[in-house]
């Protein structure tokens, strides 16, 4: 590894409406190194990588690449210069062969205009050998190879574009430890060939193993670059967390140890297992408690919650409510026993986008507003929706407004209202404030706090450390499908949580 | 006042409203173009033509609102018409038994369609295409390709009158009204829209998505079976060609009526307007003495115009 610099970022600032995502960032990337980029969610890692790979230009600042100032307005421009980004979600076409994927859109042609298969297969084979997939037939369909092999094909695709600087965004989040090892082997090999890699990951132990240097980001600012072999995970975590905790949300009261001794357990989950996602997880939920479940993406938090709710197929696992076992085969069973779930991904799982606010809110409770002839009592529906609309202060021009036209925060309030109308005993919220502005966030925290004060037991799944720390009475940390740690509020420390999250 | 304007806008902004305007326009144009058009006998003639499509379109609209499709309807009509005729003339069963058995047959076919779509997770297009083929073969096997004529009180459903009004027209209006109330005013109806809008959200809201989707296929086949009896009763005879091509006309009526093929949107009564437009167009070719070969051409154009207008309207709204 020489000391020549391949890329230098100078005073990069990126502003989005209402937020500064990156603030005066300076970073130099050395030729042929693996530079890890770490930071909490919202630290600005993704924004930086998007600027470097040409997804959008910076608001201010200069990018010097191979000694020349560059300004990319499209990913293609960055690609032509040898900067390739490999996204978390792969962009491969499942029904095409490996070779066709590598040269997608650039298939070699013969003089007749037909595809030159011989050249295609030969070139692809060479690239596969380069990324350690030499033994795999290039004609294999992408859907028939495993996740890490797909990652390798993605890298081969980047290399076919003569990439000199590879950006890998959480490449191992969907991989098993063994698969991740293979990928790390490939990365080591590419480094020997002089290819520079930026490695974004939350998995700190992986970073310690594979990287040469580590650049730490916090709140949109570049903090420091560490030399991997001279540093420790603890040092990295303390830099990521920072010392000051900026004005965070706090509840009036959190459950104390005495509370835990005196309050009844209202729900108990035993040995919950979901194929490949959750392994043998058990936990208790107390009356009026806000329980946080956190962990990295892919740790199995969402799957655990959905399995309890009957929405995800479980292999085994029991749910007890007030000591009695409840058979939950479908969400309707969970709802009958008093549960409600505000799922992650509002558009995908939470909303009926083309339906109006009233219909979105009343959908669960409508069964209680039916007349003798099985007709919906419209007056009652409207009355009840109006009541909850006001109670949660949903800002909408009318109840007949299509929900797609509301802001994220108001959409989320409608989904919460949907469950509150049904008067649940347990409310599960999965990433409740994702993509919601700060004002609405606080309002949602207040709602959750008030519910718990009134005796409702709440589970909040979140990957935002700050959210877990300021909202929850207790937190369970998951790592690769298992519980890796548990803390009550008085013992909350960001460092401890981070350590649990990385599986230590 | 403001609320009233808003409500008016909500009504006029709907696809059904513009389609209804189209229907009015067509009616006015036809009554000018042909003196026979507004005669009572012609109107009832058109209505009884429409009734075949109108009845099934209620079920089809529900299926499409859930995001599915049913291509087997025409073959259900054909098979049920022939089974009704066969049970009457060959098995000599009394008409209530025939009615019951045929409706039961419809239910069974619908259940098979529904289970294949929900339990086996097969694509509705393929499932109903295939069951349609099977049913068409069954009809030929039953009739050996020959017409079966029959005499039965059941024929009253297809050829009877109450006063000046054909019975099948009354049945159609009853089915449309029932279907509209079901879709707009009942919990199941609301849930059908929810499933069409977002299946996952519906599931997480406690709706039994599979059961619901299965039920709309059953409703559609049941209505197709009823229609089969009407068609057979109208002719006092059944053969394997009855019902062929119904699916395309019915889907066209539903789409013209404003139901979105991607599911979640539209109304049941809109399909009646769609069916009416197609019925009047067909009648127009007869009255105005235009070659019937032009029929398909014009109906095809109408479908494209209706759907294109709808897309334009949606795009405009989103801007």
Q: Is the dihedral of CA A465, A466, A470, A471 positive or negative?
A: negative
Query: Highest-confidence range of A53-62, A179-188, A384-393, by mean pLDDT?
Result: A384-393
Residues A263/A287, Cβ–Cβ less than 8 Å: yes
Residues A54/A80, Cβ–Cβ less than 8 Å: no
Residue of B nearest to A328 (CA): B206
What pLDDT is stored for residue B319 in this prediction? 46
Which DSSP string do the residues of A109-171 spell out, in sequence order?
B-TTSSB-HHHHHHHHHHHHHHTT-TTS-TTSBGGGS-HHHHHHHHHHHHHHTT-SEEEEEST
Taking each helix axis from N to C end, the angle separating B187-197 and B167-185, rounded to the nearest 10 degrees, works out to 70
Q: What are the DSSP E strand ranges found in B186-290? A: 237-238
pTM above threshold 0.90: no
Q: Would you call B296 an interface residue with chain A, using a CB distance cutoff of 8 Å?
A: no
Query: Highest-confidence range of A31-45, A230-244, A250-264, B109-123, by mean pLDDT?
Result: B109-123
d(CA A42, nearest CA chain B) in Å: 28
- Which residues of chain B are within 8 Å of residue A355 when distances are taken between CB atoms? 193-194, 197, 264
Contact A364 B206 (CB under 8 A): yes
Structure tokens at B293: 């070969």
Q: Look up tokens 């990324």; give the residue.
A: A131
- Which residues of chain B are within 8 Å of residue A342 when distances are taken between CB atoms? none
What pLDDT is stored for residue A345 in this prediction? 85
Residue B112's contacts (CB-CB under 8 Å, 6 or more residues apart) are B131
Nearest to B186 among A334, A348, A376 (CB): A376
Residues A263/A255, Cβ–Cβ less than 8 Å: yes
A179 vs A63 pLDDT, higher one: A63
Residue A442's contacts (CB-CB under 8 Å, 6 or more residues apart) are A249
Residues of chain B whose pLDDT is less than 70? Answer: 1-13, 313-319
What pLDDT is stored for residue A392 in this prediction? 94
What pLDDT is stored for residue A247 in this prediction? 55
Percent of the residues in chain A that have a pLDDT greater than 70, as a whole number: 96
Contact B185 A375 (CB under 8 A): yes
Structure tokens at A31: 């030729």
SS3 content of chain B, % helix, strand, coil (to 5): 75, 5, 20
What pLDDT is stored for residue B316 in this prediction? 63
- Which residues of chain B are within 8 Å of residue A350 when distances are taken between CB atoms? 201, 204
**Domain-by-domain residue ranges, chain B?**
50-243
Residue of A nearest to B265 (CA): A354
The answer on pLDDT for A87 being more than 80 is: no
Best probe of the B interface among A342, A354, A398, by most B CBs < 10 A, is A354
What pLDDT is stored for residue A202 in this prediction? 80
pLDDT band at A245 (very low <50, low <70, confident <90, very high): very low
- Which residues of chain A are within 8 Å of residue B208 when distances are taken between CB atoms? 330, 332
Residues B228/B102, Cβ–Cβ less than 8 Å: yes
Q: Would you call A367 an interface residue with chain B, using a CB distance cutoff of 8 Å?
A: yes
The answer on pLDDT for A362 being more than 60 is: yes
What pLDDT is stored for residue A173 in this prediction? 74
Model confidence pLDDT, tens digit, residues A397-438: 899 999 988 888 899 999 999 999 999 999 999 999 887 776
Closest of B260, B252, B271 to residue B51, by C-alpha? B271
Best probe of the A interface among B121, B188, B204, B317, by most A CBs < 10 A, is B204
Residues B176/B193, Cβ–Cβ less than 8 Å: no
Model confidence pLDDT, tens digit, residues A133-172: 888 999 999 988 887 888 889 889 988 988 999 999 888 8
| CB neighbours of residue B162 within 10 Å | 10
What pLDDT is stored for residue B270 in this prediction? 92
Model confidence pLDDT, tens digit, residues A440-484: 888 999 999 999 999 999 999 998 888 899 999 999 999 989 999
Q: Would you call A503 an interface residue with chain B, using a CB distance cutoff of 8 Å?
A: no
Contact A331 B193 (CB under 8 A): no
Residue A52: half-sphere exposure toward Cβ, Cα within 13 Å: 31
Residue A445's SS3 state is helix
Model confidence pLDDT, tens digit, residues A89-147: 677 888 999 999 999 888 999 989 899 999 999 999 999 988 888 889 999 999 888 87
Distance in angstroms (rounded) separating the CA atoms of residues B313 and B307 = 10
Contact B204 A359 (CB under 8 A): no
The answer on pLDDT for A363 being more than 90 is: yes
What pLDDT is stored for residue A210 in this prediction? 93
Q: How many CB pairs under 8 A join A and B?
A: 73
Residue B136's SS3 state is helix
Residues B151/B90, Cβ–Cβ less than 8 Å: no
Closest of A210, A180, A216 to residue A197, by C-alpha? A210
Q: Which helix (H) or strand (E) holds A16?
A: strand A5-16
Pairing assessment for the beta strands A426-430 and A339-342 based on DSSP bridges: parallel
| CB neighbours of residue A70 within 10 Å | 16
Residue A186's contacts (CB-CB under 8 Å, 6 or more residues apart) are A131, A132, A152, A155
Distance in angstroms (rounded) separating the CA atoms of residues B118 and B113 = 9
- Which residues of chain A are within 8 Å of residue B200 when distances are taken between CB atoms? 348-349
Query: Highest-confidence range of A61-75, A341-355, B170-184, by mean pLDDT?
Result: B170-184
Pairing assessment for the beta strands A213-218 and A221-227 based on DSSP bridges: antiparallel
Best probe of the A interface among B11, B66, B205, B208, by most A CBs < 10 A, is B205
The answer on pLDDT for A1 being more than 60 is: no
What pLDDT is stored for residue A228 in this prediction? 93
Distance in angstroms (rounded) separating the CA atoms of residues A30 and A36 = 12
- Which residues of chain B are within 8 Å of residue A375 when distances are taken between CB atoms? 181, 185-186
What pLDDT is stored for residue A420 in this prediction? 96
What pLDDT is stored for residue B317 in this prediction? 57
What pLDDT is stored for residue A104 in this prediction? 87
What pLDDT is stored for residue B309 in this prediction? 77
- Which residues, listed in sequence order, are joined to residue A475 by a DSSP beta bridge? A292, A487
């Amino acid at each position: 590894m020489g000391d020549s610099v391949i890329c230098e970022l100078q005073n990069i600032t990126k502003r989005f409406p209402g937020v500064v995502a990156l603030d005066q960032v300076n970073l130099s990337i050395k030729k042929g190194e693996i530079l890890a980029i770490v930071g909490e969610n919202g630290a600005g890692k993704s924004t930086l990588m998007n600027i470097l790979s040409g997804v959008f230009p910076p608001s201010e600042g200069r990018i010097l690449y191979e000694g020349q100032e560059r300004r990319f307005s499209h990913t293609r421009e960055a690609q032509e210069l040898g900067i390739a980004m490999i996204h978390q979600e792969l962009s491969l076409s499942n029904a095409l062969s490996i070779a066709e994927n590598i040269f997608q859109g650039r298939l070699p042609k013969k003089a007749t205009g037909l595809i030159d298969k011989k050249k295609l297969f030969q070139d692809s084979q060479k690239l596969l050998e380069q990324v350690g997939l030499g033994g795999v037939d290039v004609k294999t369909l992408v859907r028939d190879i495993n996740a890490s092999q797909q990652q390798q094909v993605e890298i081969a695709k980047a290399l076919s574009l003569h990439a000199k600087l590879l950006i890998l965004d959480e490449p191992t989040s969907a991989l098993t430890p063994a698969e991740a090892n293979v990928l790390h082997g490939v990365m080591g090999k590419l480094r020997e060939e002089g290819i520079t890699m930026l490695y974004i990951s939350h998995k700190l132990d992986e970073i310690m193993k594979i990287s040469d240097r580590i650049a730490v980001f916090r709140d949109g600012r570049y903090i420091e670059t560490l030399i991997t072999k001279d540093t420790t995970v603890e040092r990295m975590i303390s830099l990521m967390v920072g010392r000051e905790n900026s004005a965070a949300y706090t509840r009036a009261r959190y459950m104390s140890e005495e509370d835990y001794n005196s309050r009844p357990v209202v729900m108990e989950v035993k040995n919950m297992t979901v194929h490949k996602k959750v392994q043998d997880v058990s936990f208790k939920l107390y009356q009026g408690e806000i329980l946080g479940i956190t962990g990295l993406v892919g740790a199995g938090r969402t799957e655990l919650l959905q399995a309890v709710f009957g929405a995800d197929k479980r292999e085994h696992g029991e749910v007890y409510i007030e000591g009695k076992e409840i058979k939950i085969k479908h969400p309707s069973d969970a709802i009958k026993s008093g549960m409600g779930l505000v799922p992650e991904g509002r558009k995908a799982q939470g909303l009926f986008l083309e339906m109006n606010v009233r219909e979105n809110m009343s959908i669960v409770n409508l069964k209680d507003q039916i007349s003798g002839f099985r007709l919906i009592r419209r007056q009652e529906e409207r009355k009840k929706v109006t009541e909850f609309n006001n109670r949660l202060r949903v800002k909408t021009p009318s109840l007949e407004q299509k929900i797609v036209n509301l802001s994220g925060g108001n959409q989320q309030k409608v989904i919460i209202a949907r469950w509150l109308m049904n008067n649940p005993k347990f409310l599960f919220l999965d990433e409740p404030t994702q993509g919601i502005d700060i004002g609405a966030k606080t309002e949602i925290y207040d709602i959750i706090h008030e519910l718990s004060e009134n005796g409702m037991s709440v589970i909040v799944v979140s990957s935002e450390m700050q959210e877990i720390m300021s909202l929850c009475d207790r937190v369970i940390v998951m790592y690769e499908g298992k519980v890796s740690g548990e803390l009550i509020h008085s013992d909350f420390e960001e460092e401890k949580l981070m350590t649990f999250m990385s599986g230590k | 006042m403001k609320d009233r304007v808003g409500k008016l806008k909500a009504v006029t902004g709907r696809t059904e409203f513009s389609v209804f305007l189209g229907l009015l326009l067509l009616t006015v144009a036809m009554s000018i173009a042909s003196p026979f058009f507004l005669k009572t006998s012609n109107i009832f003639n058109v209505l009884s033509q429409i009734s075949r499509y109108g009845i099934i379109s209620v079920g089809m609209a529900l299926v499409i609102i859930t995001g599915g499709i049913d291509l087997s309807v025409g073959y259900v009509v054909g098979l049920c018409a022939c089974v009704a005729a066969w049970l009457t003339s060959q098995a000599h069963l009394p008409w209530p038994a025939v009615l019951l058995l045929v409706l039961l047959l419809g239910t069974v076919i619908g259940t098979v369609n529904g289970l294949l779509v929900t339990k086996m997770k097969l694509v509705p297009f393929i499932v109903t295409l295939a069951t349609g083929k099977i049913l068409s073969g069954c009809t030929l096997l039953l009739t050996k390709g020959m017409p079966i004529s029959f005499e039965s009180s059941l024929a009253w459903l297809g050829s009877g009158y109450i006063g000046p009004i054909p019975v099948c027209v009354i049945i159609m209006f009853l089915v449309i009204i029932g279907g509209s109330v079901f879709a707009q005013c009942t919990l199941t109806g609301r849930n059908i829209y929810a499933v069409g809008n977002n299946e996952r959200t519906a599931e997480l809201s406690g709706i039994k998505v599979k059961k619901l989707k299965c039920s709309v296929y059953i409703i559609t086949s049941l209505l197709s079976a009823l229609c089969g009896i009407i068609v057979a009763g109208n002719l006092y005879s059944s053969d394997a060609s009855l019902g062929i091509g119904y699916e395309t006309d019915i889907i066209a009526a539903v789409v013209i009526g404003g139901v979105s093929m991607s599911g979640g949107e539209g109304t049941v009564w809109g399909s009646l307007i769609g069916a009416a437009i197609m019925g009047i167009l067909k009648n127009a070719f007869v009255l105005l003495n235009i070659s019937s070969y032009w029929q398909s051409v014009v109906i095809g154009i109408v479908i494209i115009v209706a759907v294109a207008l709808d897309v334009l309207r949606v795009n405009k709204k989103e801007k």
